[in-house]
Amino acid sequence: MASRPAGDDRAVTAPPVARLEQVALSHGANKALDGVTLDLPAGCVVGLIGPDGVGKSSLLALIAGAQAIQQGRVEVLGGDMAQAAHRRRSGPRIAYMPQGLGKNLYPTLSVFENVDFFGRLFGHGKAERARRIAGLLRSTGLARFADRPAGKLSGGMKQKLGLCCALIHDPELLILDEPTTGVDPLSRRQFWELIAAIRAGQPSLSVLVATAYMEEAARFDWLVAMEAGRVLATGTPGDLLAQTGAADLDAAFIALLPEARRAGHQAVAIPPRPAAAQAEIAIEADHLTMRFGDFTAVDDVSFRIPRGEIFGFLGSNGCGKTTTMKMLTGLLPASAGTAKLFGQPVAAQDVAARRHVGYMSQAFSLYTELTVRQNLDLHARLFNLPPETIPDRIAEMCRRFGLEEVMEALPESLPLGMRQRLSLAVAMIHAPRLLILDEPTSGVDPVARDAFWRILAELSRQDQVTIFVSTHFMNEAALCDRISLMHAGRVLVSDTPQAIREARGAATLEEAFIDHLQEAMGAEATAPEAPPTPDTTAPAPAPRGFDPRRLGAYAWREALELQRDPIRTALALIGSLILMFVIGYGINLDVENLTFAVLDRDGSAASRDYRGQIGGSRYFIEQSPILDYADLDRRMRRGEISLAIEIPAGFGRDLARGRPVEIGAWIDGAMPTRAETVRGYVQGMHAAWLTQRAREGHAAAAALGSFTLEIRYRYNPDVQSLVAIVPAVIPLLLMMIPAMLAALSVVREKELGSILNFYVTPVTRLEFLLGKQAPYVALAMMNFLMLAGFAIFGFGVNFTGSFLALATAALMYVIAATAMGLVISAFISSQIAAIFGTALITLIPAVQFSGMTDPVSSLEGVGAFIGQIYPTSHFMTIARGTFSKALSFGDLGGSFLPLALAGPVLIGLAVLLLRKQAR
Amino acid sequence: MRNILQLGIKELRGLARDVVLLLLIFYSFTLSIHTASTAMPEALNKAAIAVVDEDRSQLSARLSGAFYPPHFTLPPLITAQQMDRRMDAGQDTFALDIPPNFQRELLAGRVPSLQLNVDATRMTQAFTGGGYVQSIVSEEIAGFLNRQDGASVTTVGLALRARYNPELSKAWFGAINEVISSITMLSIILTGAALIREREHGTIEHLLTMPVTPFEIMASKIWSMGLVVLLAATFSLVVVVQGLLEVPLQGSLALFLLGTALQLFATTCLGIYLATLAGTMPQFGLLLILVLLPMQVLSGGMTPRESMPEVIQTIMLLAPNTHFVMLAQSVLFRGAGLDVVWPQLLALVGIGGALFVLALRRFRQFLR
């Protein structure tokens, strides 16, 4: 492939594309890079080789500007990457494709929309974008899939799409982090052909690639071999081979390792299986099929694996390997066909059968919060090993898998190879007869991989354990007794590696595999139709300070994602209506239907009159009379009565003679608000009864000193709870839901990795935040209209003021609410924490400190301070003012001002807190 | 049984390493309760009142002097025009208008009227404060008349006593309410969010390849998370509520804790159920708000149940919180015993059991 036309001399004469001096980087206690000094030549393909976790990705992220520099100096394209100004200028000249299939793509967006988004970020006009996208999609063979969501592409296609997104702005430096990991060999070959074609058209392009595949690296121009955060060696592939005297790069890499790491390494050689022919059949799959909806993940797969065999399963990501394995373990019930383990059909509920099987899933799935010993111990107990044998068994496993040194360590602190050995030890703890291993060596360095396979060989040959293993590596496939090639849910061929190779007349297993794939894919396997023609007719505009187009790009994309996730939108819109309904009807501040009973020791006309006064009101319902104090006590304790009235003996007589008498009233104080209201009612009714009696008795005398107190309930003359509560619910709901959605929209990008696009493109923090915010502000305004409409027409609350004033305030308010979510998202990186955080800073202040039930002026201490500055308080005043008090802008100036300020202040805070680089 | 124990211990170990969650648990059972309880205004606190004195007499001065903190703010003397503006802007909840010649007409027996304007959009203060203003005005006028001519007006006394909480301190009530909210919120979040996270990390799937049943996984989560919340709640009641806030608790703590355990059984099951319904964390977050808020607002902890519409009262009987709030109020404030609260305990068992069955069925499908 890409042999440079100009030869090696250019790498020496041209100024380097990147220079690193004493660069060090650590994540917590982990040292990712340890004093790297390196000049990377321009205009050629530079490869970083080495296993996972040696610092390749960190190095690339530093060069791309995605990672903040901790120590040392990084110069890229002739400028210091520590300076934000240089990063801004050079952003459009660098393209970065992070590790992970489609990591920086948006799965719900279509192929076209993904590329379009990147085009917008770099400020191309509409026509220019359309032209470029058409060219890129045509040349990568993706044109036919332009409308397919990126999440539904195969691994190879995702990587091609990633490349399109990276190339949209004509970069001078293309950084690819493991672009072909997890991609099938055919797509891998096509990918490199594409890169070669691009470089042929644009010879000045520098390409920086990290890879774990040594056979790929052999075709690069210049290599950097890395180990444990340090550079082992640099040079052309030829140099490295010559330096070590090795036959291939795998061997060369091992030879370059320090003595200690190499110790005990020997090439894997698996003794042939004793040809004791018809052994017991361990796994038997018969026409296994798995459908998810109308998608067939596994299509009519059959195989028989005898006991003790190492059976390899090859195929690209998403071809059905993992699904097949899950059906074999009983994790997934098959849609059709049967699977048998040792002659027994696999059933999902069959707990006993699982004792024979050890399973190691693709991703590390042990408990990271438990130590190595605790993990082993837990699994031993779950498999019901007799407790007295467990310590011995654990010790034995540790010896065998070399874990003695790290027994008390947490898995996350271990290197990947060690973690994989731990997973295998856990899978083996109960001495199963069958091991199912799903890509156990992805990302493990060659030395550790060889050690791993030696263990597998031993298990198979000595202990007669059957091993069913999936892998991407052809050299591992060659070690298996038999292999199956799988593509798009179907098994293409199944035989010994040698037989497969020979049947196709291919030199290597990989070529044979590609041959099979091409045959199977037929139409889909279109090679690039035309190499992309880089054109500089319309170069990307130089980045400006604040560009509404980039803001628009983020807003447009966020809106599309929101539109593609109808569940979230529906929950937000309909959920808020339900909540309003529930709270509006539920929080009833008119205390009514209170139960009371009387202990009447008098039984006179006067006492009956008094009882009637209370019982006749709409607030109280009289219960059967109280017999004595014990009865009173009992009934109040049970909560049967909220009020007890005691009328003393001789009440009527004393009253008539004008002697002072006293009526006793007990209120259930368990609920203070209610008790408070009851007290008010009783006092009022008592006073009213007295006045009435006085009038009836001696009208003339009573007149002296009498007065009336007219109470005018303003704004809500009937004192209806709905009128008081419904306008207050709108601010409450418009705070919590928009804040949470906005916070999650950013934190989700952080968790899923697409935040990298923000790190490495010229988009500024303000553009990013405002762009993310805009769709949620629009959604919240829609929500506001629905809530206001429901309040007016559903609940029948009178709207008396200026709707324009309310709507303006609502707009300011939702801007503040979403900005509050953005502030949280700036310093929180997990979704759980974001949910917690938003609930904490919105729920309590909005419900308790913003005047919903108790006015802000009555609060004390911290609560009062929060209430005064919290935007909900001000919007609550405006909502009530416009709903019930017939007010407009002029009357509410005092509340509009703080509300208008809140949004900009919060956004400013979020901009300050948000990082433009990973730390 | 052994598996349930082992897996539960695993959950506890995992929680012990999650500093953020631990801090959150600590916060919600200590500081949060303390702040909420102390920020709660006492019965009537600093209710904003203004006086429009058009009389300018001895009596009207006496009336304006009768309002002072802590129940009321010191009333500014304003004009009738200012009154409308101030009330519109929400500056005053009450405005007492004393008309011209009020004192003269009162003494002449012409039954003059005072006007009390109340901002009825602030319902809580409108009701309680209205009563206060009424009785303060009556007392002051009676006192004034007594001093005028020494004639005492015989009245029928009313001895009002509040039981269980004689001062009607909202802080007591607020503290207990907050404990209940924390119990519900944390138990749902701890189990639900942890389950979603375990699925995202693939550890749940790994468990299922072992001889462990979904029932065992679920039961282990319930007992371990339930235990954590139970311990935190006990600590909170004894140290924060009884100790720091000096709230006298009446009934048997053991009985309340039994109720708490049953409530936790129901809410942890609910947490698992919600997690199986929500596919992703954002959906879980929204669902959480949708369920948690009505449960807290309508359970009878914020406003009395008997004032809610019949339908809502009936529907809310399905929520465990409703019964738990009743139980907590009966036991902790009124000192009720098992003879009183057994229906609530029974209801909690029933709701918890139903949620458990429902959650287990969904959980099995969720694992597919």
Question: What is the arithmetic mean of pLDDT over A719-745?
Answer: 86
Residue range A361-467 in CATH 3.30.70.980: no
pLDDT in tens, A747-769: 888 877 888 888 888 888 999 99
- List the Cα angle B353/B349/B299 in 5-degree steps: 105
- CATH number of the domain where residue B121 is located: 3.40.1710.10
Query: Which residue out of B113, B122, B167 would a mutagenesis test of the A interface target, given it has the greatest number of A Cβ atoms within 10 Å?
Result: B122
Range of the domain at B269: 2-40+169-366
- Gyration radius from chain B CA atoms: 27
User: Do B190 and B115 have their domain in common?
Assistant: no
> CATH topology for A594-703?
abc type-2 transporter like fold (3.40.1710)
Would you place residue B149 in the very low, low, confident or very high pLDDT band (cuts 50, 70, 90)? Answer: low
pLDDT at B150 over 60: no
Report CA B265 to chain centroid distance, whole Å.
Answer: 22
**The predicted structure's pLDDT at residue A6:** 40
* Antiparallel, parallel or unpaired: β A482-487 and A490-495: antiparallel
Rounded Cα distance between A565 and B318, Å, is 31
Please, which residues 461-520 of chain A have a Cβ atom closer than 8 Å to chain B? none
> For residue B325, which residues of chain A lie inside 8 Å, CB to CB?
none
φ/ψ of A714, rounded to 5, equals -85, 155
Q: What average pLDDT does range B229-256 have in this prediction?
A: 88
Q: Do B286 and A740 touch (CB under 8 A)?
A: yes
Domain identity same for B187 and B304: yes
B119/A665 touch (CB, cutoff 8 Å), yes or no: no
Count other Cβ atoms within 10 Å, centred on residue A388.
7
Show residues of chain B in contact with A854, CB under 8 Å: 40-41, 45, 124-125
Distance (Å, whole) CA A744 – CA A822: 9
B192 & B317 share domain: yes
The pLDDT value recorded for residue A544 is 63
Residue that is written with structure tokens 């707990």 in the block? A351
* pLDDT score recorded for residue A515: 85
- A378 near B CB under 8 A: yes
- Is residue B305 a part of any domain in this protein? yes
CATH code for residues A14-262: 3.40.50.300
- Please count the other Cβ atoms lying within 10 Å of the Cβ belonging to residue B297: 20
Six-digit token string for A749: 């990008």
- The reply to whether residue B134 touches residue A709, judged by beta carbons under 8 angstroms, is yes
Mean pLDDT score of chain A? 82
Q: Given this model, what pLDDT does residue B40 score?
A: 60
Query: Measured between beta carbons, which residues in chain B are less than 8 angstroms from residue A383?
Result: 210-211
Q: Which amino acid is at A256?
A: L
Do B124 and B260 sit in the same domain of this protein? no
In a domain? residue B318: yes
Q: What is the pLDDT of residues A163-199, one digit of tens each?
A: 888 888 888 899 998 888 777 777 888 888 888 888 8
CB distance from A386 to chain B under 8 Å? no
Cβ distance B124 to A637 less than 8 Å, yes or no, reads no
Q: Determine what percent of chain A is predicted with pLDDT higher than 70.
A: 90
Domain presence at residue B159: no
How large is the greatest C-alpha to C-alpha distance in chain A, in angstroms? 126
Would the CB atoms of A716 and B124 count as touching at under 8 Å? no
Ranked by mean pLDDT, which of A158-172, B18-32, B340-354 comes out on top? B340-354
B355 vs B90, which has greater pLDDT?
A: B355
Closest CA to A675 of A686, A683, A685: A683
Residues with Cβ within 8 Å of A767's Cβ and at least 6 positions away in sequence, in order, are: A546, A547, A550, A551, A554
Let me know if the fold of A14-262 is the same as that of A361-467: yes
From the CB of residue A161, how many other CB atoms can be counted at a distance below 10 Å? 24
Domain boundary assignment for chain A: 14-262, 278-350, 361-467, 548-584+720-913, 594-703
- The strand pair at A79-80 and A94-97 is best described as unpaired
**Given A378, A832, A851, which is nearest B193 (Cβ)?**
A832
SS (H, E, C) chain B: CHHHHHHHHHHHHHHHHCHHHHHHHHHHHCHHHHHHHHHCCCCCCCECEEEEECCCCHHHHHHHHCCCCCCECCCCECCHHHHHHHHHCCCCCEEEEECCCHHHHHHCCCCCEEEEEEECCCHHHHHHHHHHHHHHHHHHHHHHHHHHHCCCCCCCEEEEEEECCCCCCHHHHHHHHHHHHHHHHHHHHHHHHHHHHHHHHCHHHHHHCCCCCHHHHHHHHHHHHHHHHHHHHHHHHHHHHHHHCCCCCCCCHHHHHHHHHHHHHHHHHHHHHHHHHCCCHHHHHHHHHHHHHHHHHHCCCCCCHHHCCHHHHHHHCCCHHHHHHHHHHHHHHCCCCHHHHHHHHHHHHHHHHHHHHHHHHHHHHHCC
> Which chain A positions have a beta carbon within 8 Å of B156's beta carbon?
655, 660-663, 686, 690
pLDDT class of A898 with cuts at 50, 70, 90: very high
Residues B87 and B211 in one domain: no
pLDDT of residue B256: 92
Instruction: Among B84, B117, B149, identify where a domain stops.
Output: B149
* pLDDT in the model for residue A274: 67
Q: What is the pLDDT of residue B273?
A: 92
Domain identity same for B190 and B320: yes
Q: Which of A869, A875, A880 is nearest to A895 (CA)?
A: A875
Alpha-carbon gap: B245 to the closest alpha carbon of chain A (Å): 16
Query: Is B284 an interface residue toward A (CB < 8 Å)?
Result: yes
Cβ <8 Å between A891 and B119: no
**Section A373-400 average pLDDT:** 87
Q: Is B155 within the bounds of a domain?
A: no
How many other CB atoms sit within 10 Å of the CB of residue B270?
A: 26
Query: What is the per-residue pLDDT for A541?
Result: 57
Reported confidence tier of residue A694, pLDDT bands at 50, 70, 90:
low
Whether residue B164 is contained in a domain is answered as no
**Could you say which DSSP state residue A149 is in?**
B
Q: Measured between CA atoms, how close is A713 to chain B, in angstroms?
A: 5
pLDDT (mean) for A316-325: 78
pLDDT score for A538? 53
**How would residue A702 be classed by pLDDT, with cut points 50, 70 and 90?**
very low
User: Which pLDDT value is given to residue A532?
Assistant: 52
pLDDT in tens, A220-262: 999 998 888 888 888 888 888 888 888 888 888 888 887 766 6
Contact A696/B at CB under 8 A: no
B273 shares a domain with B233:
yes
pLDDT at B155: 60
DSSP bridge pairs for A27: A30
| Predicted confidence (pLDDT) at residue A525 exceeds the cutoff of 50 | no
Q: How far apart are CA A515 and CA A519, in angstroms?
A: 6
More confident residue, B73 or A774: A774
With bands split at pLDDT 50, 70 and 90, how would you rate the model's confidence at A348? low
Are A582 and B302 a contacting pair at CB < 8 A?
Answer: no
CATH 3.40.50.300 fits A278-350, yes or no: yes
Q: Residue A5: its pLDDT value, please?
A: 42
- In sequence order, the β-bridge partners of residue A664 are A646, B159
CA–CA distances in Å: residue A912 to residues A764, A827, A904: 12, 11, 12
Neighbours of A127 (CB within 10 A): 9
pLDDT of A775 higher than 50: yes
Residue B89 shares a structural domain with residue B217:
no
Size of interface A-B (CB pairs under 8 A): 409
Same domain, residue pair B233 and B119: no
**How many structural domains is chain B composed of?**
2
Decide if A676 and B113 are in contact by the 8 Å CB cutoff. Answer: no
Confidence at A367, pLDDT banded by 50, 70, 90: confident
pLDDT digits (tens, 9 = 90+) for A50-66: 877 778 888 999 998 88
- B144 and B13 fall within a common domain: no
Residues in chain A: 919
The bridge status of strand A482-487 relative to strand B49-53 is unpaired
User: What are B178's two structure tokens?
Assistant: 């907050």
Confidence of residue B349 (pLDDT cuts 50, 70, 90): very high
Tokens at A860, concatenated: 């004390």
HSE at residue B358, side-chain half, CA atoms within 13 A, is 18
Say if A356 is an interface residue toward chain B (CB within 8 Å): no
Q: Is the peptide bond before A274 cis (omega within 30 degrees of 0)?
A: no
- Taking CA atoms, what residue in B is nearest to A719? B120
Residue A338 bridge partners (DSSP): A286
Q: Which of residues 170-229 of B touch A (CB under 8 A)?
A: 170, 172-173, 185, 189, 193, 197, 201-203, 205-213
Of A40-44, A348-352, B185-189, give the lowest mean pLDDT range: A348-352
Is B83 found in the same domain as B179? no
- Helix or strand run (H / E) with residue A698: none
Q: Are residues B9 and B104 in the same domain?
A: no
In A517-629, beta strands by DSSP E: 594-600, 620-622
pLDDT in tens, A553-595: 999 999 998 888 887 788 888 888 888 888 787 766 667 778 8
Write down the mean pLDDT value for chain B.
Answer: 83
> Which tens digits make up the pLDDT trace of A537-546?
555 555 667 8
Q: A382 contacts in B (CB within 8 Å)?
A: 3, 6-7, 207, 210-212
Determine the Cα–Cα distance for residues A879 and A727; give it in Å rounded to an integer: 6
